[in-house]
Amino acid sequence: MVPIIRLQKELTQTVRELSDSGKAAYILKNNNMEAVLLSYDEYEYLKTLKKYLNNLK
């Protein structure tokens, strides 16, 4: 989990780490989950998976 203030300061480094690791960063704002930041490859995988699952219906 990454507080939004820290993310603002370290965005380039965080994006590089996510791209390299394939992990996600959970963004906090006022100690509440606000968003998720993930690598492009993971995003594309999830889109493909969603499309596949929707076709099963």
Residue pLDDT, tens place only, 3-54: 888 888 888 888 888 889 988 989 888 889 999 999 999 999 999 999 999 9
Find, among 9, 4, 54, the residue nearest to 25 by Cα: 4
Candidate CATH numbers 3.40.50.150, 3.40.1620.10, 3.40.190.10, 3.40.50.2300; the one for domain 2-56:
3.40.1620.10
What is the pTM for the complete model shown? 0.68
* Residue with the two structure tokens 């993930």: 38
Three-class HEC string of 4-47: HHHHHHCHHHHHHHHHHHCCCEEEEECCEEEEEECCHHHHHHHH
- What tokens does 19 get? 């791209």
